[in-house]
Chain A
Amino acid sequence: AQRVTQPEKLLSVFKGAPVELKCNYSYSGSPELFWYVQYSRQRLQLLLRHISRESIKGFTADLNKGETSFHLKKPFAQEEDSAMYYCALSRTDSWGKLQFGAGTQVVVTP
Chain B
Amino acid sequence: EAGVVQSPRYKIIEKKQPVAFWCNPISGHNTLYWYLQNLGQGPELLIRYENEEAVDDSQLPKDRFSAERLKGVDSTLKIQPAELGDSAVYLCASSYGTGNTGELFFGEGSRLTVL
Contact = CB atoms under 8 A, between A and B. Distances in A.
A95 B43 contact: no
B48 A4 contact: no
B48 A97 contact: yes
Contact of A98 (B45, B108, B109): B45
Chain B interface residue number, banded: 20 to 34
Chain A interface residue number, banded: 20 to 34
Interface string B21-50: 000000000010100000011111100100
Nearest to B108: A43
Determine the main DSSP class of B at the interface with A: loop
Contacts of A96: 31, 33, 45, 48, 95, 98-100, 104
Nearest to B40: A102
Contacts of A97: 45, 48, 56
A34 B101 CA distance: 10
Interface in B50-107: 56, 91, 95, 98-107
Interface of A: 4, 9, 32, 34, 43-46, 49, 51, 86, 88, 90, 94-98, 100-103
